[in-house]
Structure 1
Amino acid sequence: MSDATLMLSGIEKSYNRGTPGEVSVLRGVDLSVQRGEVVALVAPSGAGKSTLLHIAGLLDVADTGRVEIAGQDLTDLSDTRRTATRRADVGFIYQFHHLLPEFSALENIVLPQLAHGVPRAQAQTRAQDLLDRVGIAARADHRPAALSGGEQQRVAFCRALANEPKLLLADEPTGNLDPETSDQVFAALMDLVRGTGLSALIATHNMELAARMDRQIRLEAGQLIPLGGAQRPA
């Protein structure tokens, strides 16, 4: 039995299919992310990395191919079941935090849990614990506008992990930050991921950050190319 949290097999995706303007973005992509593994996805702008992440996270549907998360084939699920699986098993982080401006940092992490049926007291305890793990527990009652860019993104990390997903997908999670803040925030993300033991696929342009992950792959001409990897910590 495979120990892969994410398994993509033969993923193909084109836009404007069947027309003279058809653009082939993914061409038979195969990818596995093992339990507890953190994989860097490196690609130039427009190469299709966001499309790949969206297919892996059940936000988009491939033209052909199979998507498995934790050994479950999710390829042909209904929209309702895809949504339920995504909410339960997948956490997303984007370049911009997309926090709800009218709610505090704590509330932004509590709300996804309430939507998932978690009792409020339990949700608040988990939210506070996550904020503590990324070093901003003292900012729990502040709204996003009162937080720095790095603090906002740390809250976004916590929100993505609020419902204890099996898989974390991140699209340039530090791309909107200056280099020093980016390094600090990425370290907080890695500590959070390692501390929870989940699997992660993280898209980044930053090769220094990519080198700190377990393995690096490059998306080029619609296919994945391995670039080597860092030694995983014991």
Structure 2
Amino acid sequence: MSEPVLKLSGIAKAYNRGTPGEIEVLRGAELEVGPGEVVALVAPSGAGKSTLLHIAGLLDTADAGLVEINGHDMSGRSDRRRTLVRRDDVGFIYQFHHLLPEFSALENIVLPQLANGVSRKVAEARALDLLDQVGIAARASHRPAALSGGEQQRVAFCRALANEPRLLLADEPTGNLDPATSDQVFAALMALVRNTGLSAVIATHNLELAARMDRQVRLDQGRLVPLEPTIP
């Protein structure tokens, strides 16, 4: 059996810990994501899915439990080591695109590659290839303000995959779009994920989108439980 790309064991997290206002968000969450597997994380707003994704992607630390990425336990690792793993092995997508407004679509995808030591020529070629895969290569020279919301989010997808991560974490990646655009953009994201063969955890409250992924889990009272997809 292949080693999981992501393994979460006994993840616990509380805010305002040790005070009367303590809020327990995660209570022993467990998750394994295999190579090339796309998992839907279903939960309403405020249930803790963003917290779980931040812990999985090493942006936050758990109060208890283990995070393993590519078989390596990240517990107690230095900030530098966590930063390197986050840079090299993990891609993030958020509900809002967070593109740099002064740079073109192409440049937004090139910049993280340059920071990772890739030559500009190679970085631009990869950026154009990714833009082509999501159907907006013709918009490469446009700045974010000149792009539609769906186009901006497609650029954000490409940026997240620029450094060829093995794991993609997406937090409501189409939640800021209208239903028709959301469906088109989600299809582009899934095609990009399948083409690159990476593993992904995609948070959504949309059960129709969740049903299009390999497996669905629900965050329920701080724990992850399997969810049987409902297909209309």
The DSSP-based 3-state class of the residue aligned with 2:5 is strand
| Distance (Å, rounded) in 1 between the aligned partners of 2:131 and 2:30 | 35
| Distance (Å, rounded) in 2 between the aligned partners of 1:3 and 1:183 | 32
**Map of 1:165 onto structure 2:** 165
> 1:2–1:71: 8 Å Cα contact kept in structure 2?
no
TM-aligned CA deviation for residue 229 of structure 1: 5.7
> 2:171–2:204: 8 Å Cα contact kept in structure 1?
yes
**Map of 2:137 onto structure 1:** 137
TM-aligned CA deviation for residue 3 of structure 1: 2.0
> What pairs with 1:116-131 in structure 2 (closer than 5 Å)?
116-131=116-131
> What pairs with 1:144-223 in structure 2 (closer than 5 Å)?
144-223=144-223
Unaligned residue ranges in structure 2 (runs of 5+): none
TM-aligned CA deviation for residue 75 of structure 1: 1.4
> 2:97–2:153: 8 Å Cα contact kept in structure 1?
yes
> What pairs with 1:2-151 in structure 2 (closer than 5 Å)?
2-151=2-151
TM-aligned CA deviation for residue 228 of structure 1: 3.0
> 2:7–2:67: 8 Å Cα contact kept in structure 1?
yes
TM-score, normalised to structure 2's length?
A: 0.97
Q: Deviations over 1:109-159 (max 9, x none)?
A: 000000001011000000000000000000000000000000000000000
| Distance (Å, rounded) in 2 between the aligned partners of 1:204 and 1:149 | 18
| Distance (Å, rounded) in 1 between the aligned partners of 2:152 and 2:70 | 30
> 1:89–1:167: 8 Å Cα contact kept in structure 2?
yes
The DSSP-based 3-state class of the residue aligned with 2:205 is coil
| Distance (Å, rounded) in 1 between the aligned partners of 2:6 and 2:14 | 22
| Distance (Å, rounded) in 2 between the aligned partners of 1:55 and 1:121 | 34
| Distance (Å, rounded) in 2 between the aligned partners of 1:211 and 1:128 | 30
> 2:38–2:215: 8 Å Cα contact kept in structure 1?
yes
The DSSP-based 3-state class of the residue aligned with 2:219 is strand
> 1:55–1:62: 8 Å Cα contact kept in structure 2?
yes
Identify the range of structure 1 (13-22 vs 167-176) with the bigger mean alpha-carbon deviation: 13-22
How much is the aligned-residue C-alpha RMSD, in angstroms? 1.0
| Distance (Å, rounded) in 1 between the aligned partners of 2:155 and 2:108 | 8
The DSSP-based 3-state class of the residue aligned with 1:4 is coil
Q: Deviations over 1:148-207 (max 9, x none)?
A: 000000000000000000100000000000000000000000000000000000000111
| Distance (Å, rounded) in 1 between the aligned partners of 2:228 and 2:215 | 6
Identity of matched residues, %? 79
Query: What letter matches 1:75 in structure 2?
Result: S
Runs of 4+ in 1 over 3 A off after TM superposition: none
Q: Deviations over 1:26-56 (max 9, x none)?
A: 0001100110000000001111000000000
How many residues end up aligned between the 2 structures? 230
> 2:2–2:35: 8 Å Cα contact kept in structure 1?
no
| Distance (Å, rounded) in 2 between the aligned partners of 1:209 and 1:29 | 23
Identify the range of structure 1 (150-159 vs 2-11) with the bigger mean alpha-carbon deviation: 2-11
> 2:218–2:227: 8 Å Cα contact kept in structure 1?
yes
